[in-house]
Each structure stands twice: as C-alpha cells, then as structure tokens.
Amino acid sequence: MVPVAGALLESGIDLGPLLPHHLSEVIVGIILMLLVFLVMWKAVVPAFEKLYDERYQRIEGGLNRAEQAEAEAKAALAEYNEQLSSAREEAAKIREEAKNAGAQLLAEAREKATKESDRILASGRAQLEAERTQLMTELRGEIGGLATTLAGKIVGESLADDERANRTVDRFLDELEAAGKTR
C-alpha cells in the first residue's frame, strides 16, 4: 500500500473505493489520464475547435449579412428620399407651370376681350358716325327745303334756283353749326 493511503487508513478516515491501494494503480491512473488527455487533444478538442470555428463563421457571416442588409436599407432609404425629393420638385415645377399657363391664358383672354371690345366700340362709333352723316344729309335736305320756302316768303321772291338755294342753305347751316360750337 501507498504510505499516504496507509497513514490515512490507520488514522481511521475512510476515503472509500477511490483511494489507490498500490503504486501501480497510481501509475496506471496517470497513464490512463495521459491517454485520455491525448485522445481529447487529438480528437475531441479539434472537433470542438471546428464546431466553435463554424459557429464563429456563422455568427460573423450573420453580422456581415446584417451590416450589408443595413447598408442596403440605408441606400434604399436614401434613394427613396431622393425620389421623394425629386417628385416634390417635379410637383412644384408642374404647379408653377400650371400657374404660369393659367396666368397666360387669363392674359390672352383679357387681351382678346379688350380687342373684341375695342372692335365693337370702333364698329359702333363708325356706325354712329355713318348714321350721323346720313341724318345730317337728310336734315340738310329738309332744312334746306324749309329754309328756301321760308326765305322765299320773307324775301317775296321764289328761290327756285337750286344753286343759289344750296348756297343759302349751306351758309345758314354753317352759321348754325358755328353758333352750336361756341356754346
């Protein structure tokens, strides 16, 4: 027996069945422990290392994919914001063009209405002038006839001579017009 084990047994402490009783048991235990250590070192540890490495790669790949997805999301957001900004600018441009077109159409309509109004006024003035001229001619004829009849009665002779009568009527009407203008 091993001197330590013998001393422990003599002291009355019972360590149970695990206590080596011979030196050969200790040596075999050490050899078996080294053998288990070598098997673990050559077979189990590399398997665990491989498992840990695969797990690390999956996690690292997941992080890389997450970073890539985040970058893509940021790029998509930036593109969306750019498109939104572009759409807003386009809408503002369309509104401005519509506003300008409306103002232009309004100006054209006003100009057309003004021209039509001026044309109608000019036509009305021309028609009034023509009617005035016609009325003046008719009035000259009637007044001339009345004036010659009246003048013939006053003078006591017939003013049947057309040329003389026309001169008298024209002079009379000119005097009337001059008198009307001075008022």
* pLDDT tens for each residue of 30-87: 999 999 999 999 998 999 999 999 999 999 988 999 999 999 999 999 999 999 999 9
pLDDT level of residue 179 (50, 70, 90 thresholds): confident
pLDDT at 5 exceeding the cut of 60: no
The angle that helices 45-155 and 162-182 make with each other, rounded to 10 degrees, is 130
pLDDT at 159 exceeding the cut of 70: no
Phi, psi of 46 (to 5 degrees): -60, -35
DSSP 87-131: HHHHHHHHHHHHHHHHHHHHHHHHHHHHHHHHHHHHHHHHHHHHH
What's residue 1's pLDDT?
Answer: 45
CA distance 177 to 70: 99
Length of the chain: 183
